[in-house]
Structure 1
Amino acid sequence: MKLKKSAGILLYKTVRGQLLVLLVHPAGTFWKNKDEGHWSIPKVEFSDNENAFDAAIREFEEETGTHLEGHFMALSPVKLKSDKVVYAWALEKYILMLLK
């Protein structure tokens, strides 16, 4: 069985001493009213032919319409219960998100 991998961006900002993070929820009728435990950083599965960081940046821009630049911090990969491995980079930045 081939190991599934995802890559994403953890966007955060400290405002008046409080840490804020950007999380997203899957769309579609299957996910309607299923909030608990289903919020995550914006991420995407990527293949062995693709650079994880490039995939994460591309997905963030596709999902939010915002191109990110700055000093990204690589985080330690996390293995989920599903055996998927998530690679992530953190970036301190404030962006105004408009809900569709």
Structure 2
Amino acid sequence: MAEIRRSAGLLLFRRTGTGTEVLLGHMGGPFWARRNAGAWTVPKGEYGEGEAPWDAARREFREELGLPAPPGPPLPLGEVVQSGGKHVTVWAVEGDLDPALVVPGTFAMEWPRGSGRTARFPELDRVAWFGLAAAREVVVTAQARFLDRLADRLAEA
């Protein structure tokens, strides 16, 4: 039986005069370079059995954005299973950051495929603030549920 792949992430949100905005990252690498819809994600990453998901979410925020995870109480948004089978757990944290300050982590892969050459790419090639409706248009399909859950949690408060 295949091992379940698990990721954890932090969805940074802020309240503005026009509503709630969330910070999403555009996935880096050549596969995503010309895509927009479905190419944006909550900053997240995989973790193993020995690491608590909340700790992994904070670590991955730092690794993917090059900035410390924001302080503040986390709002648990639960888990979704993405189309590839990965289980993703996310917490929302209220805060603000300037996307221009982001220094993304990188990953290596063979590129072009079959060339034998290794190239480095940013984990996230850019980050941006989106209103909830606009975020739903570009985020990985399964992750749109996190936006709905955030909206519900904020409406309850």
Q: Same fold (TM over 0.5)?
A: yes
Letter in 2 for 1:94: D
SS in 2 for 1:25: strand
Aligned counterpart, 1:18: 19
Aligned counterpart, 1:85: 87
SS in 2 for 1:30: coil
If asked which structure has higher relative contact order (CA below 8 Å, sep 6+), I would say: 1
- Is the CA contact 2:44–2:64 (under 8 Å) kept in the aligned structure 1? no
Deviation at 1:30, TM superposition (A): 2.1
The answer to whether structure 1 residue 49 and structure 2 residue 50 are counterparts is yes
Higher radius of gyration, 1 or 2: 2
RMSD value, Cα = 1.4
Letter in 1 for 2:59: R
Quote the Cα distance in structure 2 between the aligned partners of 1:27 and 1:94: 22
Deviation at 1:97, TM superposition (A): 1.7
- Which is richer in strand? 2
Deviation at 1:37, TM superposition (A): 0.8
Query: Identity, % of aligned pairs?
Result: 35
SS in 2 for 1:76: strand
List runs of 5+ in structure 2 lacking aligned partners: 104-157
- TM-score, normalization: structure 1? 0.90
- Which is richer in helix? 2
Total equivalences in the alignment: 100
